[in-house]
Amino acid sequence: MLVGIMSDSHGDATATARAIAILEGLGAEHFFHCGDLCSGSVLDELAGRPCTFVWGNCDDVTPTLRKYVAALGLEWPRKETSLELAGRRIAVYHGHEPGFSTATEENGFDYIFHGHTHVYADRRIGKCRVINPGALYRANPRTCALLDLASDALTFLRIDNGRKVILK
């Protein structure tokens, strides 16, 4: 199963739409957003797609936003979440939460996805692979990531004018 990972849209729905289009074009079947969505227009881009997202430190979580998320048919997220997908245990954080720094030591996750730093990164801590897809806003380059859960193959993708550029 291919999954698309993105983070830190900061309200830039155009960049989010570009990332989703690129990831869908490459076969992504589930999308993860690691927080700092910062607008309903970014939520609009996620609506209707299988997705998991969390809130970031810049998200203003209000009762009105709760109603909007429900109206879009999206599941209300927590500041951190975990799930099993294609036989893999995945945790999603924004990256600023107190439990983030110890998450790799607990719970036997295969993957932890996070954002917050606006810098794409891939590292292993023990058996856990920790992936930061980078950011769709205030980043140079603007990036997202495609992960094949079956083969563990990870590709970082630069989004520029709707074109994909694979980063090595």
Residue 149 sits at the vertex; the CA angle it makes with 80 and 128, to the nearest 5 degrees, is: 55
Q: What is the mean pLDDT of the chain?
A: 92
d(CA 65, CA 61): 6
pLDDT value at residue 101: 77
pLDDT value at residue 165: 59
pLDDT value at residue 98: 80
pLDDT value at residue 11: 97
Structure tokens at 3: 């999954």
Total domain count for the chain? Answer: 1
Expressed as residue numbers, the domain containing 18 is 2-167
CA-closest candidate to residue 80, choices 49, 53, 57? 53
CATH of the domain at 62: 3.60.21.10
Q: Which residues of the chain have pLDDT under 50?
A: none
d(CA 151, CA 163): 25
What is the value of pTM for the model shown? 0.94
pLDDT value at residue 105: 74
